[in-house]
């Protein structure tokens, strides 16, 4: 499948870096202190970190174990007093 051992190593390293980037991005999304309520007709409601509306939707999708692009019609409400 791989013409050279070098190409196989390169692709493995690329996969590792992509996984590291995904983990770092997830950690940054969940580390913010702001909160939002994400409401979706099919999945219900959940309170998640809010860095932006998109990041809140991505966090909700992780919570609901669905693809984020399937819940783009969700309503995102920023919670003013969630940090107190």
Structural domain of residue 22, as residue ranges? 10-79
Tokens of 64: 């609901």
pLDDT value at 1 more than 60: no
Tens-digit pLDDT profile for residues 24-82: 887 887 788 899 999 999 999 999 999 899 999 999 999 999 999 999 999 999 998 76
Q: What is the pLDDT of residue 63?
A: 93
Q: Which residues contact 71 (CB under 8 A, 6 or more apart)?
A: 38, 40, 42, 43, 57, 60, 61, 64
* Number of separate domains in the chain: 1
Is 3 inside a domain boundary?
Answer: no
Is 19 inside a domain boundary?
Answer: yes
Please compute Rg for the chain using Cα positions: 17
Tell me the mean pLDDT in the region 17-28. 80
Is 45 inside a domain boundary?
Answer: yes
pLDDT value at 17 more than 80: no
Is 2 inside a domain boundary?
Answer: no
């Amino acid at each position: 499948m791989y013409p050279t051992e070098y190409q196989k190593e390169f692709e493995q390293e690329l996969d590792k870096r992509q996984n590291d980037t995904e983990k770092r991005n997830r950690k940054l999304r969940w580390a913010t202190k702001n909160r939002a309520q994400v409401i979706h007709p099919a999945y219900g409601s959940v309170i998640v970190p809010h860095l932006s509306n998109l990041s809140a939707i991505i966090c909700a999708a992780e919570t609901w174990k669905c693809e984020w692009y399937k819940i783009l019609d969700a309503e995102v409400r920023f919670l003013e007093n969630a940090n107190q």
